[in-house]
Amino acid sequence: MAALEQDRLVKERIKLNESMDKERRLKLVKQELERKRQQSLEQLDDGELATRQIILDARIRVEGHEGSWNTWNLFGGRKEMLWTTYIAEPIEQDGTIDPNFVRTTLPSLWAQVIDFSKPFYLTDQGKKKVDQLVGDVRRLQTMNSDHVLRVYGVKRDRTPKGGERVIIFVERPMDGGLLKSRLPANGFDCLTAIVRHISRLF
């Protein structure tokens, strides 16, 4: 009986050691993955994203579209002088809109990512300047004019390196914003479209 009990204890100890070894290996793998992730984040330039998905504090309702969204996918990316501009499309976290599909019925906005990478913006005075910018942008959300791009939302965030970041969601004009001025009041008929296309060729 004593030999059987000792044999059982030895087997339990072996299992326990194997389990502890497995946990240690998993922990080391996780640590290595996190180290590589941190290295990758350090290589990101201003305006570059660690994740494509942005969750806003308030839902955005876009003129001409039904519904409102607070979760947006960013893609593309064009470096400008003061910010980086991405195309933003909404997704629903409950699965009603699959982020893997692009739908023409969904709105498309610009997301302008402004990074404040200078150490000054981590000071109290610098943070107040960023606060002031966010407040000014929020006031612009109430403005509606045919001559100015509409501001739909703003998010205060952190850069992957821990700096201050502001993301502004603005109207995305099609055709450089000139389409409204070219479009006839009652739309294009087939003949007008063909004539205009041919006239551009010559």
Q: For the chain, what are the domain ranges?
A: 1-43, 53-181
- The CATH code that applies to domain 53-181 is 3.30.200.20
Give the mean model confidence (pLDDT) for residues 8-14. 78
Span 112-129, pLDDT tens digits: 999 998 899 999 999 999
Contact 167, 158 (CB under 8 A): no
Which residues, 6 or more positions from 84, have their beta carbon under 8 angstroms from its beta carbon?
Answer: 46, 47, 48, 77, 78, 112, 113, 115
Range in 23-37, 89-103, 184-198 the model is least confident about: 184-198
The pLDDT > 70 percentage for the chain reads 73
Contact 83, 112 (CB under 8 A): yes
Q: Is 113 exposed, middle or buried (0-12, 13-18, 19+ CB in 10 A)?
A: buried
Q: Is the model's pLDDT at 156 over the cut of 90?
A: yes
The side-by-side arrangement of strands in the sheet containing 109-116 is: 53-60, 69-79, 84-91, 109-116, 164-171, 151-158
pLDDT of res. 16: 79
